Structure 1
């Protein structure tokens, strides 16, 4: 699973970083594209952005309250400018059939087709995720389900059975696998008795 994060730095850039950190923990940093972290210095950023977008399975579009009306460089809305990178990434995702998850932050309104440029009208057809700062866990759990990830609270498979003995070192230290994490009984740092 490869995820591309689409966002405006000045409209929920901090949320993009939080989503990136969360997804990196869940699916690994190489599978999460965040321009600030993923593009090495000296790299042509437009090539890197497009190459990573085309290889992605999902684009998470982080949209704050100001996302739609964010001002462009030449006046008007940025989203109406064909050179706007947020717009370009979304158009590319739609063109290359990359799944899009609108991630609505802090009361951002749902998208309405009349408010969007013609190239982006199909965005209204994608089911969104609501992200509230008071309850981020709910949005992350929903994002996990959308991405087909196991519940973050489930123990990882293959790490042993619940209640199973993980290792025994003499009679001093026994590690037991528990759904909440490893449990150590005895002294985890045996002393040298010579």
Structure 2
């Protein structure tokens, strides 16, 4: 196989920001088109069950995310005689003989065989991987992905040779050379260049900031903060696709950098891709609670006409005593008043 296609089965009650974090790692490794989650890819006006069955037929494996609400929700849906789409996903995977790869997150235990319905008991024979949302995450996710690739008999391709990289639609000033052995430049020099790039951007000298970011990336193509700063410049010059691409690279290098998620959320907002923007802002909040990120997500919810969600986020902004260039407490209160009128 060129790249494995992965379906992520999860319960939305089970620490969704952490599931999104896992999804982002898989996307960075295998590509956005090879990782499926229902809220990412589900088109409008389709029967969920039919679409899921059709999509599972196209993937190579189903990752089963088990959080502390997994078994509780299974029992609740059985008691309510409600359709359990997670159960349908897993049933479909087994019927189609797709590998099911269970991952328990944040110390959640895998359900005991006695607690599983008969149709899901075979899953208890599979040793589950364990992922925790802490310092050990990096080692655990790498081990988990390696084990998954072994189970799928997939060998990752070798890294590409040195090449000149240029984001889509970028101008010639955006080129930089990706070298497997960057020139020896001290960290202090790179930090000074980044400081100057940020200062230039703050002064709205975006071309100057871009040049400085490109210089950093010539010296060190793995400098995540330089990609993030360059994305800021692209955002402010309405090059939203380039901003998204640079944030993708920054997040691949540092998946716990909430700043890159925020910049990508703003870029998606600029593109009108509100679902993606909300997803990134939510991941950012899962990494770090920030008044400014609540403001950001409130703005996106408002644009998406999800007014109650926007009100809730602007209220959280106020509760956290947020006050920034993006908005003030007075502005947040004004927005809440305006949005409450729209709900009437």
The alignment's TM-score, normalised by the length of structure 1, stands at 0.74
* 2:17 is equivalent to residue 11 of structure 1: no
After TM superposition, list the pairs within 5 Å mapping 1:96-111 onto structure 2. Answer: 96-111=96-111
Alpha-carbon distance change, 52 to 77 in structure 1, aligned in 2, over 3 angstroms: same
Cα deviation for residue 51 of structure 1 reads 0.9
In structure 2, the residue matched to 1:178 is 180
Report the secondary structure of 2:13's partner residue. coil
* 2:39 is equivalent to residue 36 of structure 1: yes
In structure 2, the residue matched to 1:52 is 55
5+ residue gaps, structure 2, are 165-175, 186-210, 216-344
In structure 2, the residue matched to 1:163 is none
After TM superposition, list the pairs within 5 Å mapping 1:112-131 onto structure 2. Answer: 112-131=112-131
In structure 2, the residue matched to 1:78 is 77
Report the secondary structure of 2:72's partner residue. coil
Q: In the aligned structure 2, how far is the partner of 1:84 from the partner of 1:48?
A: 15
* 2:143 is equivalent to residue 142 of structure 1: yes
Q: In the aligned structure 1, how far is the partner of 2:110 from the partner of 2:144?
A: 17
In structure 2, the residue matched to 1:22 is 25
Contact in 1 for aligned 2:93/2:99 (Cα 8 Å): yes
Contact in 2 for aligned 1:7/1:62 (Cα 8 Å): yes
Alpha-carbon distance change, 52 to 79 in structure 1, aligned in 2, over 3 angstroms: farther
Contact in 2 for aligned 1:4/1:32 (Cα 8 Å): yes
Alpha-carbon distance change, 183 to 82 in structure 1, aligned in 2, over 3 angstroms: farther
Report the secondary structure of 1:65's partner residue. coil
Q: In the aligned structure 1, how far is the partner of 2:48 from the partner of 2:161?
A: 40
* 2:158 is equivalent to residue 159 of structure 1: no
Cα deviation for residue 44 of structure 1 reads 3.3
Contact in 1 for aligned 2:101/2:148 (Cα 8 Å): no
The alignment's TM-score, normalised by the length of structure 2, stands at 0.44
Q: How many residues align?
A: 168
Which structure: greater helix fraction?
Answer: 2
Q: Compare 22-31 and 130-139 and name the one that shifted more.
A: 130-139
Alpha-carbon distance change, 175 to 184 in structure 1, aligned in 2, over 3 angstroms: farther
RMSD: 2.9
Of residues 62, 66, 81, the one that matches 2:65 is 62
In structure 1, the residue matched to 2:314 is none
Q: In the aligned structure 2, how far is the partner of 1:176 from the partner of 1:27?
A: 20
Cα deviation for residue 126 of structure 1 reads 1.3
Contact in 2 for aligned 1:79/1:87 (Cα 8 Å): no
